Amino acid sequence: MPSHVAGTKQVVRAKTDHDGNSLRKAFYEIRELIVHGRLSPGSWIVEADLARHLSMSRTPVRSALHWLQREGYVIEHKNARKSRMVVAPLTKEDAGELYSIIGHVEGLAGRRTAALPKANRTEIATRLRGFNNQLREILTARDSRAAGIFDLDRNFHRAIIESGAGPRLLALHKSIEPQAERYWRLYASSIINDLHLSVAEHDEIIAAIVAGDPDRVERGLQSNWENGCHRLARVIDIFGERGSW
Amino acid sequence: MPSHVAGTKQVVRAKTDHDGNSLRKAFYEIRELIVHGRLSPGSWIVEADLARHLSMSRTPVRSALHWLQREGYVIEHKNARKSRMVVAPLTKEDAGELYSIIGHVEGLAGRRTAALPKANRTEIATRLRGFNNQLREILTARDSRAAGIFDLDRNFHRAIIESGAGPRLLALHKSIEPQAERYWRLYASSIINDLHLSVAEHDEIIAAIVAGDPDRVERGLQSNWENGCHRLARVIDIFGERGSW
DNA sequence: CTATACAGATTTGTCTACAATTCTGGATAC
DNA sequence: GTATCCAGAATTGTAGACAAATCTGTATAG
């Protein structure tokens, strides 16, 4: 190549194949950062910083942030006509609405789970008992490995949703549930101290599924979330809200 | 500037100010195209074509399509590792799940509307009666201006949601409701023929709000959607599903 | 006549460039 | 000492370029 062309383009391109789907990766990684509190509630988001952190360009990061905004993990601090993005704060009011929605979404799914054939229901109940018994063990052992608790509770609820919900409801649940996890993680004590209550509520839900009673399952799930919300509210009152100032 | 640099960049750029927010515009316009059936269910989507149609670059169009995908207006026809986008088909099964979800979301909001102070409730009821009476007029006059019917029914429901729901639930409703509109628009006759049933159900909902009975409001809204779904299912049976082949 | 292979056309995914706007800090006026 | 204004830094929004992947149609071999 002649040397006089050297300065013309010379954009050394680093093989664009960042594995084919950076957007997904960006979405899940950023969500993880938010859910785990590494990006703390109320804090500023700079696209370029995240892009560097994830070692990709701004384009997929940007799209991911828009997803997160639509789902409520991120809100736009609209100054004038430009949208600054901020990690959504955790407030008691928001928690109330969020938990209420999840309770109803799960209630709807649970209702359909209760309508499944008996064979399926007993199979599910067995699985649910497995999760709940593990929770009970942690409880009696005063183990308090918070991480395990989160996962067990999540698995319990997911098992119900996944067996009863169709694709739409499932997607809806998947997009909302991690937001409740934000509250769990940051106000962990609320879950751990009152764990026995939740375990008891789970027992009732299992019984309702075995009985095949949709109303009872729905009520059980709604109560579980509603009560969780009250327990959470107490903790928020004590420790204060985060990211809302 | 030395002449040997003349060929370096020279990208004449046409003032990027497409008004500051092309993404929103792209999202709403494309959604409109889908909801109104201009982009028919099951049909292929090509980013570049849409970009040309909206006279903007692919970047905002692409993001908008991702939003639409997340909300269920568009699905990805995943071949290998690349995502071809397709306008979501309209199926009886999907309608069932969709209507069920909306019924419950509105039910939750309506429940909170029923819990408002009496003064607010009567004010809302007045507004609702306004919409419903207009529907009744169209009905008795055998007017069947479909467009007006859509708007009136939508306004009726929105009035309830907006008075009872918090920001999260409102956003959720806003993202789901237009998807029901897709079914309305394409199977319009299902609404128009049985309009009197819906009007009667609306009356019951109004009465429940006036009475301030959350359970009754919730039941009323859920039934309204559930019955609407049945009416729709009959029409789908007759005319067939669209876009699913 | 059918099946395979290959070349060109399409289309998507990601990157970087650039314009416009907003923010920040410091210098100047009072 | 405080308020105002301006230059430069930082940040966002959009455009367009390119590479990889997929699809399509045609030509060739059997």
Residue pairs between chains A and B whose CB atoms are closer than 8 Å: 70
Which of A66, A107, A169 is closest, CB to CB, to B63? Answer: A66
Q: What is the pLDDT of residue A141?
A: 77
CB-CB under 8 Å, A166 with B97: yes
CA distance B76 to B127: 41
CA distance A224 to A202: 8
> Nearest-CA distance from A67 to chain B in Å?
7
Whether the pLDDT of residue B93 is over 60: the answer is: yes
Closest CA to B223 of B125, B94, B95, B103: B103
Q: Other C-beta atoms within 10 Å of A11: how many?
A: 6
CA A220, A224, A228: angle at the middle one, nearest 5? 165
Phi, psi of B77 (to 5 degrees): -90, 80
Mutate to test the interface with B, among A168, A174, A229 (most CBs of B within 10 A): A168
CA B97, B170, B138: angle at the middle one, nearest 5? 75
CB-CB under 8 Å, B67 with A70: yes
pLDDT tens readout for residues A131-179? 999 999 888 876 666 668 889 999 999 999 999 999 999 999 999 999 9
Tokens standing for A155? 């698995």
* Per-residue flag: B118 CB under 7 A of strand D: no
Whether the pLDDT of residue B169 is over 60: the answer is: yes
* Per-residue flag: B13 CB under 7 A of strand D: yes
Below-50 pLDDT ranges, chain A: 1-17
Q: Does A26 touch chain B (CB under 8 A)?
A: no
Strand D nucleotides where any atom sits below 7 Å of a protein CB? 10-23
Q: What is the pLDDT of residue B81?
A: 59
Whether the pLDDT of residue B16 is over 70: the answer is: no
How does A39-56 read in b/e, with b if 16+ C-beta sit within 10 Å?
Answer: bebbeebeeeebbeebeb
Average pLDDT value for residue range B60-76:
94
pLDDT tens readout for residues B105-130? 999 999 999 999 999 999 999 999 99
Tokens standing for B135? 């529907």
Residues in A closer than 8 angstroms to B82, CB to CB, are 20
Average pLDDT value for residue range B39-47:
91
Specify the higher pLDDT residue, B73 or A1.
B73
> Nearest-CA distance from B55 to chain A in Å?
20
Residues in A closer than 8 angstroms to B81, CB to CB, are 20-21
Which residue carries 């301030």 as its tokens? B212
- Amino acid identity, residue A76? E
Which of A8, A62, A70 is closest, CB to CB, to B70? Answer: A70
Tokens standing for A48? 């370029």
Report which of residues 71-90 in chain A place their beta carbon less than 7 angstroms from any atom of strand D: 82-85
Return the SS3 of A187: coil
Tokens standing for A142? 């005063």
Residues in A closer than 8 angstroms to B97, CB to CB, are 166-169
CA distance A224 to A200: 9
Q: Does B63 touch chain A (CB under 8 A)?
A: yes
Closest CA to B45 of B245, B243, B183: B243
CA distance A132 to A109: 19
Q: What is the pLDDT of residue B8?
A: 32
Q: What is the pLDDT of residue A80?
A: 54
Note the CA–C1' distance, A190 to C22, in angstroms: 41
CA distance B206 to A95: 29
Return the SS3 of B129: helix
Return the SS3 of A90: strand
Note the CA–C1' distance, A29 to D27, in angstroms: 49
Specify the higher pLDDT residue, B80 or B49.
B49
Closest CA to B212 of B152, B164, B156: B164
Strand C nucleotides where any atom sits below 7 Å of a protein CB? 10-23
Tokens standing for A135? 């929770």
- Beta strands per DSSP E along A46-204: 74-79, 82-87
CA distance B105 to B112: 11
Q: Which nucleotide is nearest to A59 (CA to C1')?
A: C14
Q: What is the pLDDT of residue A189?
A: 73
Residues in B closer than 8 angstroms to A101, CB to CB, are 105, 108, 168-169, 172
DSSP state of B87: E
What are all long-range contacts of A131-136, with beta carbons under 8 Å and residues at least 24 apart?
A: A131/A155, A131/A156, A131/A159, A131/A202, A132/A156, A132/A199, A132/A202, A132/A203, A132/A206, A135/A195, A135/A198, A135/A199, A135/A202, A136/A199
Which residue carries 């989507």 as its tokens? B45
A191 neighbors A149 (Cβ within 8 angstroms) = yes
CA distance A185 to A199: 18
CA distance A152 to A158: 10
> Nearest-CA distance from B242 to chain A in Å?
18
Average pLDDT value for residue range B19-33:
89
Tokens standing for A160? 């119900």
Q: Other C-beta atoms within 10 Å of A151: how many?
A: 13
Q: Does A81 touch chain B (CB under 8 A)?
A: yes
Whether the pLDDT of residue B78 is over 80: the answer is: no
Q: Which nucleotide is nearest to B16 (CA to C1')?
A: D14
Tokens standing for A143? 């183990």
pLDDT tens readout for residues B173-208? 999 999 999 998 888 776 778 889 999 999 999 999
Tokens standing for A20? 């084919």
Q: What percent of chain B has pLDDT over 70?
A: 86
Q: What is the pLDDT of residue B229?
A: 94
Note the CA–C1' distance, B219 to D28, in angstroms: 70
